[in-house]
Amino acid sequence: MSALLSVRNLSVEFSTYGQVNKVLHGVSLDVPERSQIALVGESGSGKSVTMKAIMGLLRQPPATISSGEIFYDGRDLLTLAPRERLKLRGTEMSMVFQDPMSSLNPVFTIADQMRTILKYADRRLGRARSRAARMQRVHEVLAQVRMRDPERVAKSYPIMLSGGMRQRVLIAMALLSEPRLLIADEPGTALDVTTQAQILKLLKDLVEERGLALLMITHNLGVVRETSSYVYVMNKGVVVEEGATAQIFDAPKDDYTKALIAAVPRLTGGTRFGSKVVAA
Ligand SMILES: Nc1ncnc2c1ncn2[C@@H]1O[C@H](COP(=O)(O)OP(=O)(O)OP(=O)(O)O)[C@@H](O)[C@H]1O
Ligand SMILES: [Mg+2]
């Protein structure tokens, strides 16, 4: 069976002031239905550009997709009519953003913001829902992300919530229109490690409970280990290695992957830099 999301040989370049900068060189990856897949790589390796290309968020220009296909549920998103493509974004394909403070509007309540998202998603799908039904859905989804008092949270302004709660609101926003695929770009990186761990656990539980597919984008291999069963390692716009998460950790083949693993901090003292893992 073909994957729910399949990126094939994707190349992207940016033209700025007449200079062409190739940032993705033939990237291929698969996200099967109900799978938890990670895309890992250091800063600037092209993870967010990949995500934006998938979601149709790359501004062209300055970006150009010079080759490739992105299949979602068997249809190539790059040749799909703009109207059809728009129907998928924020509905079947949804995103969890990393920075709650810049993704939430400080002057509207959580309920206002969530109802607006739902309204536009419904409109795109040609679905009618009453105001009351929308509000009910907002409360329902806030409860799904384990908010103890969804009605109070709904009435709150972002500033009234903790960082962890704000990140959970962003997850709730992504779930509003019952997506099949969630793409999370560095979720929780703005949080302390304990709260981030709780957010990752929540995300994983939700994805499993609801049978969603997850593409987790991160620079952190610790996050990969917690959330994903299969991983693509990206370096300078190239997928340099892929495999089952356990296998990548136990027996990395690529030097870059080895270096990434060596750089994961350990609670039991230092990193593994300089150990045989790197030297091998
Ligand atoms: N709008 C743009 N114009 C020009 N170059 C860009 C633009 N967006 C991204 N790039 C370049 O594309 C490359 C990949 O960037 P990308 O944002 O995908 O990295 P990333 O892997 O998500 O990094 P991080 O972990 O820091 O989020 C970088 O070299 C970046 O400078
Ligand atoms: Mg990024």
Ligand that lies nearest to the alpha carbon of residue 234, given by its number in the listed order: 1
Q: Residue with the nearest Cα to atom 26 of ligand 1?
A: 43
* d(C-alpha 229, C-alpha 246), whole Å: 8
* Span from the CA of 57 to the centroid of ligand 1 (angstroms): 13
73 and 158 Cβ atoms separated by less than 8 Å: no
Atom from ligand 1 closest to the CA of residue 44:
19
Tokens of 201: 């656990």
Residue-level pLDDT at 87: 87
Domain residues for the domain of 67 are 5-279
Among residues 149, 105, 141, the alpha carbon closest in space to that of 133 is found at 141
Place of tokens 């990126």: 7
pLDDT of the residue at 59: 87
Atom from ligand 1 closest to the CA of residue 49:
18
Helix (H, G, I), strand (E, B) or coil at 120: helix
The pLDDT, as a whole number, for residue 275 is 40
Q: Is the CB of 48 under 6 A from ligand 1?
A: yes
What does the pLDDT read at residue 175?
94
Helix (H) or strand (E) holding 233: strand 230-235
Mutation probe of ligand 1 site: the residue of 13, 17, 22, 23 with most atoms within 8 A of C-beta = 23
Given this model, what pLDDT does residue 265 score? 67
Q: How far apart are CA 206 and CA 208, in angstroms?
A: 5
According to the model, what pLDDT value does residue 220 have?
Answer: 86
Taking the CA of residue 174 as centre, how many other CA atoms within 13 Å lie in the half-sphere pointing to its CB?
29
| Tokens matching residue 74 | 């068997």
Q: Using a 6 Å cutoff on CB, does residue 15 contact ligand 1? A: no
Q: How many domains does the chain have?
A: 1
pLDDT at 274: 39
Task: Describe the strand order of the beta sheet including 63-72 as a list of residue ranges.
Answer: 19-31, 5-16, 63-72, 75-76
Is the distance from the beta carbon of residue 19 to the nearest atom of ligand 1 less than 6 Å? no
- The domain that holds 235 is classified in CATH as 3.40.50.300
For the chain, 280 residues long, the average pLDDT of each consecutive 10-residue run is: 90 91 96 96 92 91 93 94 87 83 88 94 88 95 95 96 92 92 86 87 93 93 89 96 92 86 66 41
Q: What's residue 1's pLDDT?
A: 53
